[in-house]
Amino acid sequence: MLGDLLASRLIPFVALDTDMRRVTEGREKGWPVFYGDAKRADMLKAVGAENAKVVVITLNQMLPSVRAVMMVRRHYPDLPVCVRIKDHRHQGKLLDSGALLAIPETVEPTVQLATSVLGLVGMPSTEINQLIERFRKQQRAMTGEA
């Protein structure tokens, strides 16, 4: 999904994945997706990490995500690192490892569901919008996002 959004705005990116199916899917879309492990310094160098403006890590497990963050921090200390995580449990560990942002993947689906449910129970849309904005603000504070 992130690749779709970046490509739609013609923002250049390079992706690494250890799942050959995803590499193939990205390549079929014409994207620069390569098979490789982002926890390896030689891989980061091979895809031009020194020219990147940001690194986004979307690994599904906490420990590999922490290792990838630490690898980027060690070799590219000024490069911002953003991480999509499964839930809130490991946010602190990722932020302590050097991630600028650690965003739980459950946040926006929960916001969408809550918005619909609140509308169905009759809450006015202005009140829903205020409530959701407060929730998002709290989430940004918890994830380190400004």
pLDDT in tens, 33-55: 999 998 899 999 999 999 999 99
Q: Which stretches of the chain score pLDDT less than 50?
A: none
Which structural domains are found in the chain, ordered by start? 2-106 (3.40.50.720), 107-146 (no CATH)
Distance CA 111, CA 76 (A): 34
At residue 36, the pLDDT reads 93
Q: What is the pLDDT of residue 143?
A: 62
d(CA 98, CA 80): 9
Residue 85: what pLDDT? 86
Torsion of CA 21, 25, 27, 33, to 10 degrees: -60
Retrieve residue 144's tokens: 């380190």
Beta pairing, strands 81-85 & 55-57: parallel
- The pLDDT, as a whole number, for residue 70 is 95
Shortest CA distance to 52 belongs to which of 26, 23, 76, 27?
A: 76
